[in-house]
Structure 1
Amino acid sequence: MPQSALPARRFGRVLLTNDDGINAPGLALLAELAAEIADEVWVVAPEKDQSGMSRAVTLMAPLRVEERGPRRYAVTGTPSDCAIFGLRHLLKDSAPDLVLSGVNRGANVGDEVPYSGTVAAALTARLLGVPAIAFSQVVTDRTHVRWDTTRALLPRALDHALGLRVAGNAVLNVNFPDLDAADVGDVVVTRQSRGTLDRIDVEARTDLRGGNYYWMSFRRHMPILGPDTDAGALKHGLISITPIGFDMTAPEGIA
């Protein structure tokens, strides 16, 4: 697939955030695109990696904020903190037209979506009244991230997302497959899949001084899924766009 053209729609002001931190390459790519479609691009992102923070907000400690350049701020907090700080402090009198979150290094699909700080930042922005889209680049080998795929396909995915009519308070969760851009197929609207997380374990280790420390270990399982699901679409080489909302009601529980 050739590199996509920029979206036709233009914005006055766009706010960017992520959960990988302000120096992450995915955020730099997003900023490149945003500069082409917006008159003003604001960046408010965590000062360090805050992956897996979900919708956590900092309530028991102050936030420290460092200006890293024009309209660019690093925050000592979570992705949701960044969205709140940007929308309720920096831009409280001049709200952005759109919030873009990402581009995350790694997929945000299936059972793991609720843990995602990338998606959470978008949800927080939507909760505060601003439309938002989250982006993630699937990674199979963490030493080889296909940022060239992201760069080539991000304009097309954003253009498609902007053309969708999103009901209620949903945000759009976009995932790019771990393929060369030329091998990626269509953009499809999907549902969140289930059964992609097998288990979460705690791995105990010992440091050089004999002290104990622990890592959380996610064990993933990829069931056979159709292209109408986020994980299934990616396995079929498609770009997945999934509407994600706030309602966590289990219908089977009601029944």
Structure 2
Amino acid sequence: MSPKTLKKLLVTNDDGIEAEGLKVLVDSLSKVADVYVLAPDSNCSAVSSKITMGKNLHFYKCGEKSYSCSGMPADCVISAVTSPLFPFKFDAVFSGINSGPNMGTDIIYSGTCAAARQAVIMGIPGISVSMESEFLDYARTGFNYRPLADFCARNLDKLISLCDGDVFVSLNSTSADEYKEALFASACRRDYGDQVVFTENDGKTMTGFCDSKGIRVSGNADSDYNIARSGKIAVSLVYAEPVLKTISDKADFLF
């Protein structure tokens, strides 16, 4: 393939510029595309679609085609698309590979998914890529990123085509040495049992710590959770814009 015909891809994440998952994804995609990087300079997990307002963003050149940013994942996409850093139009944005799943309810909070969502909102195909450890749940080790990264490279055109202007693509898998099947998935529901544990300090102030009672997962057989846990790649199509429930009844509000 001639270099002139290579698709231009932006790769970002929420784990930070030094994350191994990002480096492996960049390496695989670089074999089939012209890849550029703009990622947070530190871990920004679970920041959702937060953007930086009221203060400057700072950028650092990390390589010929790579920059870090002091902002959030969504900031990275906005900056890459609208600033002079990259004076051309991207064909797609890839976000990941995240060290941890982003399934079902996770999508609301995920910075990884937020970057892909922001891309679609700005008219560019967005693909988020997330992996659960071989030790499951949110283990900090046990990630073999290469097979999932290679899947993205081999299926680049297909993944981009799935972003029809309304949705971004969210991939989830459990770490494995190989994958033999990818299936379209519905969304599971993940209940983390979130709670804030308070400690009194001096009678006037309290300290709160966000804690979890443990994860409970529910969903259909074709849910992203069940597909990923079965050793396959779960492919979810997620609306970038909020989807509102349509009400046909007249609202009898009091005034």
TM-score (norm 2): 0.82
Q: In the alignment, which of 170, 173, 181 is matched to residue 173 of structure 1?
A: 170
Question: What's the CA shift for 1:118?
Answer: 0.4
Question: What's the CA shift for 1:21?
Answer: 0.3
Number of residues of Structure 1 aligned to a counterpart in Structure 2: 236
**8 Å CA contact retained: 1:112, 1:197:** no
CA distance in 1, matches of 2:236, 2:219: 18
**8 Å CA contact retained: 1:68, 1:74:** yes
**Counterpart check, 1:87 vs 2:81:** yes
CA distance in 2, matches of 1:72, 1:92: 10
CA distance in 1, matches of 2:187, 2:219: 14
**8 Å CA contact retained: 1:161, 1:172:** no
Equivalent position of 2:111 in the other structure: 117
Question: What's the CA shift for 1:48?
Answer: 0.2
Question: What's the CA shift for 1:231?
Answer: 1.1
Change in 2 beyond 3 A, CA 1:100/1:254: farther
- The alignment-based identity, stated in percent, is 24
- The aligned runs of 1:7-156 (5 Å cut-off) are 11-38=6-33, 40-90=34-84, 93-139=87-133, 140=136, 142-147=139-144, 150-156=145-151
For 1:191, give the aligned amino acid: S
Change in 2 beyond 3 A, CA 1:199/1:121: same
**8 Å CA contact retained: 1:225, 1:231:** no
Please tell me the root mean square deviation across aligned C-alpha atoms, in Å. 2.5
CA distance in 2, matches of 1:47, 1:61: 16
**8 Å CA contact retained: 2:12, 2:115:** yes
**8 Å CA contact retained: 2:183, 2:234:** yes
Q: What SS does the corresponding residue of 2:211 show, helix, strand or coil? A: strand
CA distance in 1, matches of 2:89, 2:100: 29
What CA deviation, in whole Å up to 9, does each residue of 1:111-150 have, x standing for no partner? 1111000010011111111111110111226232322xx2
**Counterpart check, 1:225 vs 2:220:** yes
CA distance in 1, matches of 2:41, 2:207: 24
CA distance in 1, matches of 2:171, 2:6: 20
Structure 1: segments with no counterpart, 5+ residues: 1-9
CA distance in 1, matches of 2:200, 2:172: 36
For 1:237, give the aligned amino acid: G
Change in 2 beyond 3 A, CA 1:167/1:97: closer
**8 Å CA contact retained: 1:188, 1:233:** yes
What CA deviation, in whole Å up to 9, does each residue of 1:225-247 have, x standing for no partner? 30x21112112221101011134
Q: What SS does the corresponding residue of 1:36 show, helix, strand or coil? A: coil
For 1:176, give the aligned amino acid: S
Q: What SS does the corresponding residue of 1:196 show, helix, strand or coil? A: strand
Q: Which has the larger radius of gyration?
A: 2
CA distance in 2, matches of 1:249, 1:191: 16
Q: In the alignment, which of 231, 245, 249 is matched to residue 237 of structure 1?
A: 231
TM-score (norm 1): 0.82
CA distance in 1, matches of 2:18, 2:206: 31
